[in-house]
Amino acid sequence: MFTSGIEFVRPNERGEYEVAEGMSATVFRSILDYYNHGVIRCPPTVSVQELREACDYLLVPFDASTVKCQNLRGLLHELSNEGARAQMEKFLEELVLPLMVASARRGDRECHVVILLDDDFVDWDEKYPPQMGEEYSQTVNSTAMYRFFKYIENRDVAKQVLKERGLKKIRLGIEGYPTYKEKVKRRPGGRSEVIYNYVQRPFIHMSWEKEEAKSRHVDFQCVKSKSVTNLAEATADPAIDLPPAATVDVDLVAPPQPQHLLLQDNEGDPLANPDAPA
């Protein structure tokens, strides 16, 4: 932990190293027996998984020669996980990685691999190939790898290994794979239909890109308001609420009408208007 060159722990402000934080005293006491007797005896109150995680943290070897446990099922389960991890690393480097590199050289961003048996025979009709779900499906013939992926626990470990190697969109399972042509049926109209023999085989699907088939431009969406039923009103400028203004009552009075001046003499007879044209 302190001499490997990897910073598993860091000192605090006083230069002290705090280790085994969150680890129970029972587990820590059991691991100390490894330095005294070379063997760790798992207490009955401690799960094997908890003990294994503590050994991984303290860099103590966890195997059948160093760990003695009454719960053999739990012990063998953890040992199988360790073995599956090592086996998956080997399969990845020797069998899967070359297929991934071949896909990358074609410009692909993902890889779909079907694991076949060593004696599986694949013979497709060139004129009537089977309809595959994956366009660029690849195969690897390995009975050992086929047996490895039969167990769901091994598939979980394999998925974790692929995640740790930085791969994305990981899918593991079992699917039907066409091997050879069984017969040809003639449909009305002269169309031919080829019947293939399918076998159930494990598959691995992974990608080395974070995003797939997504544009990098911003998509703007017009969201219709719940309170407005007219789309034109929803896209129009919002109404501005003005403060109430003072109101003044104004009486509308008709404009004064022009008045005519009537000139009269002393006897009451009308006189001529001097402003009138002659």
CB of 59 within 8 A of CB of 68? no
Q: 108-132 burial by CB neighbour count: b if 16+ within 10 A, else e?
A: bebbbbbbbeeebeeeeeeeeebee
Residue 267 confidence (pLDDT): 56
Phi, psi (rounded to 5 degrees) for 259: -100, 145
Whether residue 208 is predicted with pLDDT greater than 90 in this model: the reply is yes
40-46 mean pLDDT:
89
Residue among 28, 21, 78, 83 at smallest CA distance from 52: 78
Residue 10 confidence (pLDDT): 73
Q: What percent of the chain has pLDDT over 70?
A: 70
CB of 20 within 8 A of CB of 49? no
Residues in CB range of 177: below 8 A, 6 or more apart: 114, 116, 139, 198, 199, 200, 201, 203
Q: How confident is the model at residue 79 (pLDDT cuts 50, 70, 90)?
A: very high
Distance between alpha carbon 114 and the CA centroid of its chain, in Å? Answer: 23
Among 106-110, 157-161, 234-238, the minimum mean pLDDT is found in: 234-238
CB of 198 within 8 A of CB of 179? yes
Residue among 112, 84, 122 at smallest CA distance from 173: 112
Whether residue 81 is predicted with pLDDT greater than 90 in this model: the reply is yes
Token digits of residue 28: 């820590």
For residue 45, the 8-state DSSP code is T
Q: How confident is the model at residue 274 (pLDDT cuts 50, 70, 90)?
A: low
Residue 57 confidence (pLDDT): 85
Residue owning tokens 């080997």? 90
Among 1-15, 78-92, 123-137, 243-257, the minimum mean pLDDT is found in: 243-257
The strand pair at 110-116 and 192-207 is best described as antiparallel
**Interatomic CA distance for residues 46 and 28, integer angstroms:** 11
Token digits of residue 12: 């605090």
**Interatomic CA distance for residues 183 and 195, integer angstroms:** 5
Q: How confident is the model at residue 40 (pLDDT cuts 50, 70, 90)?
A: very high
Q: How confident is the model at residue 266 (pLDDT cuts 50, 70, 90)?
A: low
Residue among 130, 198, 210, 206 at smallest CA distance from 173: 206
**Interatomic CA distance for residues 73 and 42, integer angstroms:** 13
Q: What is the pLDDT of residues 175-193, one digit of tens each?
A: 888 888 888 777 777 777 7
Dihedral Cα 136, 137, 139, 143, nearest 10 deg: 160
- Percent helix, strand and coil across the chain, each rounded to 5? 30, 20, 50
Whether residue 99 is predicted with pLDDT greater than 90 in this model: the reply is yes
Among 59-63, 81-85, 90-94, 268-272, the minimum mean pLDDT is found in: 268-272
Q: Which helix (H) or strand (E) covers residue 40, if one does?
A: strand 40-41
CB atoms within 10 A of CB 84: 20
Q: How confident is the model at residue 230 (pLDDT cuts 50, 70, 90)?
A: low
